[in-house]
Amino acid sequence: MNRSLYAARRRRNGIMLSLSLAATLLGLGWLVVILSVLLWEGFSGLSLAVFTEMTPPPGADGGLLNPIFGSLILTVLAVLIGTPIGMLAGTYMAEYGRHDRLTSVVRFINDILLSAPSIVVGLFIYEVMVAPMGHFSGLAGAVALAVIVIPVVVRTTEDMLLLVPDQLREAAVSIGTPRAFVIAKVCYRAAKAGMITGVLLAIARISGETAPLLFTSLNNQFWSTNLNAPMSSLPVVIFQFALSPYKDWQKLAWTGALIITFTVLALSIAARALSASRKPS
């Protein structure tokens, strides 16, 4: 009786632990499957023409130059708009208002914005920018992406500044440094690696974002540097091309997908390496 109970417990243990191993293999398997399909489908389409030619009409040869350029512009602008706001807000939460009511409210709201559906951000920017201006524009797309950048940067800035030892602040204050200079000259320097990590993660996050761009920057078949006009971007072009019935458009969509994925993976690995090398333990 006792022995059979013991055997049953061991058996259950064995089953559950095998299941957990199987689950892990399944998770890793998906990653391998997705990446290898992406490499298989995307790599064959990869050529110099992808980076030097415009998006083609169906049936013709072409590349992805204008969407790649558009994505770069939108991403850079979004980071330029979003990073300062995010860093300042994070600074307030970690430095001036550490024990404020405001800080805990902002932290709660920010965490929700961090995982809010990005398509809602697109609707928001459509309502406040596209509809009043009367037309889609690259600028609206950049602002929509900036709204996604802000929560990521706020979160990492606050976390990283909170890791800076208080002794550093106290030492700086004791020699008469005003608070703003303590933050700028001491805290920011100590937390630099972590804050850069946050920006990298934010770039990784927005470089694949499609939903907020669909009805803000829309799409543009031609080369355009006009921020006041619709602007092409890689994710939106992938969306359009992949759902088209044309084989060569689908091929370009795969190639674009490959470019985006490896950019994102490279960015997140870089961010991890950066934060791992400076992690205070």
Partner 1 sequence: MVDVALQGDAVETSAVAARAKALNRLRVADIVFRALTRAAAIGVLIILGGVIISLIDGSLPALRAFGLNFLVEERWNPVTEKFGALAPIYGTLVTSFIAMLIAVPVGLLIAVFLTELCPMWLRRPIGIAIELLAGIPSIIYGIWGLFVFAPFLQDTLQPFLIATFGNIPVLSTLFAGPPYGIGMLTAGLILAIMVLPFITSISRDVFDAVPPVLKEAAYGIGCTTWEVVRYVVLPYTRVGVIGGVMLGLGRALGETMAVTFVIGNAHKVSASLLAPGTTISATIANEFTEAVGDLYTSSLIALGLILFVITFIVLAIARYMLLRIERRIG
Interface with partner 1, residue 21, by CB under 8 A: yes
Give the footprint of partner 1 on residues 59-78 (CB under 8 A): none
- To partner 1, the closest distance from the beta carbon of 231 in angstroms equals 14
Interface residues for partner 1 in 100-159 (CB under 8 A)? 102-103, 105-106, 108-113, 115-121, 123-124, 126-128, 147, 150-151, 154
Among 50, 95, 152, 252, binds partner 1 (CB under 8 A): 95
Least CB distance to partner 1 at residue 246 (A):
14
Q: How far is the CB of 247 from partner 1 (least distance, A)?
A: 11
Element (H or E) spanning 65, and its range? helix 65-91
Q: Which is nearer to partner 1, 21 or 52 (CB)?
A: 21
d(CA 255, CA 247): 13
Which residue pairs, CB below 8 angstroms and at least 24 apart, start in 114-120?
A: 114/151, 114/152, 114/155, 117/211, 118/148, 118/209, 118/211, 118/212, 119/211, 119/212, 119/214
Q: How far is the CB of 38 from partner 1 (least distance, A)?
A: 7
**Could you tell me the two tokens for 208?**
């694949």
Token representation of residue 147: 């709204």
Nearer to partner 1, 73 or 89 (CB): 89
Select the residue interacting with partner 1 from 17, 76, 80, 133 (CB under 8 A). Answer: 17
Which H/E stretch holds residue 10? helix 2-43
DSSP string, 206-268: HHT--HHHHTTT---SS----TTS----HHHHHHHHHTSS-HHHHHHHHHHHHHHHHHHHHHH
Nearer to partner 1 (CB atom), residue 65 or residue 119:
119
Look up residue 164 and give its two tokens.
Answer: 């800076």
Q: Decide: is 211 part of the binding site for partner 1 (CB under 8 A).
A: yes
> DSSP labels for 119-188?
HHHHHHHIIIIIHHHTS--HHHHHHHHHHHHHHHHHHHHHHHHHHS-HHHHHHHHHTT--HHHIIIIIIH
Which span sits near partner 1 by CB under 8 A: 43-51, 66-74, 93-101, 167-175?
93-101
Judged by DSSP in three states, 1 sits in coil
From 44-52, 60-68, 188-196, 242-250, give the range in contact with partner 1 by CB under 8 A. Answer: 242-250
Give min distance, CB of 120 to partner 1, in A.
Answer: 5
Of these, 7, 24, 57, 192, which contacts partner 1 (CB under 8 A)?
A: 24
Token pair listed for 114? 């961090």
Q: Is 89 in the site for partner 1 (CB under 8 A)?
A: yes
Q: Tokens in use for 257?
A: 């997908």
Q: What is the footprint of partner 1 within residues 165-204 (CB under 8 A)?
A: 176, 178-181, 183-184, 204
Q: Does 16 interact with partner 1 (rule: CB under 8 A)?
A: yes
Q: How far is the CB of 208 from partner 1 (least distance, A)?
A: 2
Q: Kindly indicate which of the ranges 50-58, 164-172, 190-198, 210-218 contains the residues binding partner 1, using the contact rule CB under 8 A.
A: 210-218
Site residue total, partner 1 (CB under 8 A): 91
